Structure 1
């Protein structure tokens, strides 16, 4: 109970500090023209920031994570969002278990690490590496009409890359922050 309250407070703080950068559709309004409706009833969305919004967003992140470069602030912000919006696995069958994700920098690549704890206590690890060279900065997300999960999509092939609790604000914010992180890393390379 207490950890759930702390997660909601942390989410509120993160999103309050960056609130103006959230997309119009985070409140359920104006689904962007880039949204595609699939046969499964899932919508795919893509987000981007223009120059002034991007500068303001990065300034807010540097204030939220003092003493960190823009890249490190974005990485930490993405990981905190992944932690805050991690799917709740209590009461789920082992076949429905969802990994918890974390991002790491590996020189000229971004590593996506997934950790899945099975009902019998076993731990499964997965890793995906996203080479930064040529990686699109525009990321999309899937937000299904029903179900408990949503996904940030791999910019290379639009397959699910990260899984979160079904929360439009959280998936939109993570998608935006991850796209900016990729852009910052590519500029530094």
Structure 2
């Protein structure tokens, strides 16, 4: 009986401690995430690891014409993110027609100062795409393949990247 009560107390105590130290755990979680990315991309620079991870996710979850079966104007949407001037990110969008003949490139610069770094995303149930939302003005920032887990991971990486660039 004493072992059962002791086990129950042991299980209950971390829940109380974690409720009190939510900010500490969030900070520890952030440090672990960034350290994992630095190890994965073999760098000591958080910003470079976040850029590499964001671009790898953009490649992995790119919306390709092959996924757009039954749509009239199928195209590949490819993105690449890079650093611009201080406090600025550059998003390169390349769209290619299904046959690869019609290619258009658009570069979008956006300042990260004064914006909420949290990136939201929407994945409509009836479509094949997810849209990540620009935190500055609420407009669509980029479009990827409909994958909730991939959109969540990309939103997380971009949010951390924006926070990092906001630091200067």
Query: Could you tell me which residue of structure 1 aligns to residue 39 of structure 2?
Result: 63
Matches within 5 A, 1:98-177: 98-108=76-86, 109-119=88-98, 121-177=101-157
Structure with greater Cα Rg? 2
Contact 1:98/1:163 (CA < 8 Å) preserved in 2?
no
SS of 1:144's partner is coil
Post-superposition CA distance 1:122-181 (Å, at most 9, x none): 210111111122122111000111210001110012221111110011000000000000
Aligned CA-pair RMSD: 1.8
Residue of structure 1 equivalent to 2:166: 186
Counting helix residues as a fraction of each chain, which structure ranks higher?
A: 2
Secondary structure of the 1:50 match is helix
Q: How many residues align?
A: 140
Where relative contact order (Cα < 8 A, 6+ residues apart) is larger, the structure is 1
Q: In 1, distance between residues paired with 2:78 and 2:56?
A: 12
> Deviation above 6 Å: which 4+ runs of structure 1?
none
Structure 2: tracts of 5 or more residues without a match: 1-24
Question: TM-score, structure 1 length as denominator?
Answer: 0.69
Structure 1 unmatched ranges of 5 or more: 1-48
